[in-house]
Structure 1
Amino acid sequence: MATTSPSPLDSYQQLGLRISKIINSPTAQKAKSALIFKLEHESPEDWAQLLEEIGENDNVTLAWRDDGGVQIFWVVPKED
C-alpha cells in the first residue's frame, strides 16, 4: 500500500498560514486589530497579493506604517 505525503505548501500558502495565525490569535481577536510585517524571505508578489485579498473584505481596513508594517483593523458586523 503506497502512502502519499501531503504536498508541501507553496510560498503564498506559507505566508497566508503565518498571517492567519497572527490574525486569529486571542490578542488580535480581542483588539480586532493585528500588526503584520513581511519577512525577508517572503516574496513581494505574495505579500502584495495577500494584502490585496485581505483589503477586499468589507469590514477590514489596512494601514501602512512607516516601519514597513501593516496594521489590519476589522469590524465584526452586528447580528440582526
Structure 2
Amino acid sequence: MAIRVQKIINSTNAQKAKAALIFRLPEEPENDWQRLLEEIAENDNVTLAYRDDGGVQIFWVVPKED
C-alpha cells in the first residue's frame, strides 16, 4: 500500500501539480490506511483534504531554499 501511494505521489503529473489524489483499495486494511495518512500528514508543508468520495487529496509546498 505504501509503495503504491508513493508511486502516485512521485509520478510526473503529481510532482508538477504538487498534488496527488489517493484512494484506499478494498483489500487494504482501514487501520493501516489511517496510519499511512497520519504519517503523510506529519510532514511539513503537506495538507490532506478528505473528499466525500473517500479519496484523499494531498497537497504540498516545496519551500524555497535560502
Q: Same fold (TM over 0.5)?
A: yes
TM-score, scaled relative to structure 1: 0.82
Q: Which runs of 4+ in 1 moved over 4 A?
A: none
**How many pairs were matched up?**
66
Q: What is the rounded CA distance, in whole Å, between the counterparts of 2:12 and 2:38 in structure 1?
A: 24
Opposite residue 45 of structure 1, the aligned amino acid is N
Would you say 1:25 and 2:11 are equivalent positions?
yes
5+ residue gaps, structure 2: none
Cα offsets for 1:4-32 (capped at 9, x unmatched): xxxxxxxxxxx110000000000000000
Q: Name stretches of at least 5 consecutive residues in structure 1 with no aligned partner.
A: 1-14
- Bigger radius of gyration, 1 or 2? 1
TM-score (norm 2): 0.99
Instruction: Report the aligned-residue RMSD.
Output: 0.3
